[in-house]
Amino acid sequence: MKKPVTINSIEEIKSKLSKIDDQGKKSRITRFIISALSSIPWVGGFIGASSAFHSEKEQGKVNDLQKLWLEEHHRKIEELANTIFQIIDKLESSGVDVQDRMETEEYLTLVRKGFKEWDNAETVEKKEYLRKLLTNAAATSLSTDDMIRLFIEWIKNYHETHFMVIKEIYKNKGITRSQIWSNISQSRPAENSVEADLYKLLIRDLSTGGIIRQHRETDYYGNFIKKPSSRRSKSGSSSYKSAFDENDLYELTEMGQRFVHYTMEDVVTQIGE
């Protein structure tokens, strides 16, 4: 597997662009980079502060706070640049249709929105989801741009624990709440515990958000079949349904499956394939 080239600064980005002879390719990549950088407020300040730093350093006027700020943002610009070129390298190795898609305003709008949330993401995992989403959004026409925007919002709004539940259901269609919990935790808390309340909240968020649902049978035409109504017997349990229920089976909705496909897998390389 080809190891990605490490980009450490804005100057290295400029240098990399200057070595591209194909003007169409250079224009396409430049527009992508500008779209990504323009959505991140601190980039302009970093470029200006970096130039001023070198000038003041020669005059011996650099202070410790300024130096620390630049060091932190140098790390961030390196991470940002490498993410940008991971996407570009993947898309440039794809077909002509993908390269044409990269130049559309519709896709560049997604790039701006995606990198804005990438910069705000609290974890490496969320940044990876956004990288894969923007890559796959250019390389396939399976989902509309409106749906891609919704996926970006999901990544923004959901917590890592939500994604843990999503992954378990994706790997084990028809899994119960009890089984999901057993796979992500080693202890079984009481029903009136904070942990049980949090777990019920996760399931409720993902259910009302349209990502997961209880398993439903369908007919030949794809219509959901209603479950036969059942009356609770008088001898039934007097306690409420457990947060760690062992009966109801869970699965991803169609949108949930598409979300996982776009954000957690490097799978598509060509529009329509």
Question: Crossing angle, helix 254-263 and helix 160-171, to 10 degrees?
Answer: 110
* pTM for this prediction: 0.82
Q: Identify which of 165, 150, 160, 149 has the alpha carbon closest to the alpha carbon of residue 203.
A: 165
Domains of the chain, earliest start first: 10-158 (no CATH), 161-225+240-260 (1.10.10.10)
**Single-letter amino acid, residue 54:** H
Query: DSSP labels for 210-240?
Result: TSEEE---B-TTSPBPPPPP-PPPTTS-SSP
Query: Digits of tens for pLDDT over the chain (273 positions)?
Result: 444 445 556 777 788 888 888 898 999 999 999 999 999 888 877 666 655 544 455 445 556 666 676 677 778 888 999 999 999 999 988 888 888 999 999 999 999 999 999 999 999 999 999 999 999 999 877 778 999 999 999 999 999 999 999 999 999 999 999 999 999 998 999 999 999 999 999 999 999 999 999 987 777 666 767 777 655 555 555 567 899 999 999 999 999 999 999 998 765 444 344
CA dist 205 and 212 (Å) reads 9
